[in-house]
Amino acid sequence: MGASILVLPAKIFEIKESVNLFFAAQKLRDFHEEEIYKTVSGETITLTSEVLDLKLSGDVLSGIFSRDFVRSRVYKRKVIETPTTEESPFWIKKFGERFFLIVLAPSTARGLKKLLTNYVANKLSRILFIKPNVILEVEIPHEKLKVLHESNPQATKLIWFDNVDIPGVEKLCLAGSDLTDTSLYQEYLKHGKIWYVVFEVQKRGIVVGVTRNCVITLFSKSSIEDFINYIMEEILPLIS
């Protein structure tokens, strides 16, 4: 895969059952669903969902989840419906005795990135295990995000805190020069938990954002392959 665009989000899930990657590849290769959609103009469209470009390499199974849908917009007071294909790359990675799923949000997703990554996780759960709720959300403990920042505070660009106990305040934020104010940082830690950190990974030359619920966002130019390798090598070990 080539160089990525700026602002590229991925979400990590855990597969709560053991996965035979060879058999998983066979199931995903055989997956094909069709839905008949009738437009407002009366035209019939066949919408397809399938898995493309499957590749098994060692302890990683990768592919692209492809799904057709109809995008609606209004043009001169008429509803215009346009068939669109959305592609979400994914990776199933064995990590120790655990299996994780990483789903990259497509560039067309815009504000629906979270919904779409969750959709792919739920769909893969049904394809691989014939039931939902096998592929679940995971979390990086607040304490590990705290260590991530404190190990190199100069690399941190933004910190959001949630679970704030101050009445009327839902979130607190540190950015810019406030990040060097250790007393302010310690004060915020007394009142909330770290939810989101944006920092530079200096040895890789990239800027990423990491949330407690394992949404990892790339904010600088990088290849998708390098970004996913970073997630596998440095983020998976942080997950509780």
Q: For residue range 165-192, list pLDDT tens digits in order.
A: 999 999 999 998 778 778 999 999 999 9
Residue 1 predicted with pLDDT over 60: no
Burial class of 69 by CB neighbour count within 10 A (0 to 12, 13 to 18, 19+): middle
Count the domains in the chain.
Answer: 2
- Distance from C-alpha of 9 to C-alpha of 228, rounded to nearest angstrom: 11
Helices (H), the chain: 21-30, 113-129, 142-150, 182-191, 224-230
Kindly state whether residues 33 and 123 are assigned to the same domain.
yes
Contact 158, 178 (CB under 8 A): no
Contact 93, 232 (CB under 8 A): yes
Range of the domain at 194: 142-212
Residue 47 lies in a domain: yes
Residue keyed to tokens 């403990």: 141
Query: Which of the two residues, 3 and 209, has the higher pLDDT score?
Result: 209
Per-residue pLDDT at 179: 82
Q: What is the pTM of this model?
A: 0.90
Domain CATH for 97: 3.30.530
SS3 144: helix
Kindly state whether residues 16 and 128 are assigned to the same domain.
yes
Residue 101 lies in a domain: yes
Kindly state whether residues 151 and 108 are assigned to the same domain.
no
Kindly state whether residues 189 and 71 are assigned to the same domain.
no
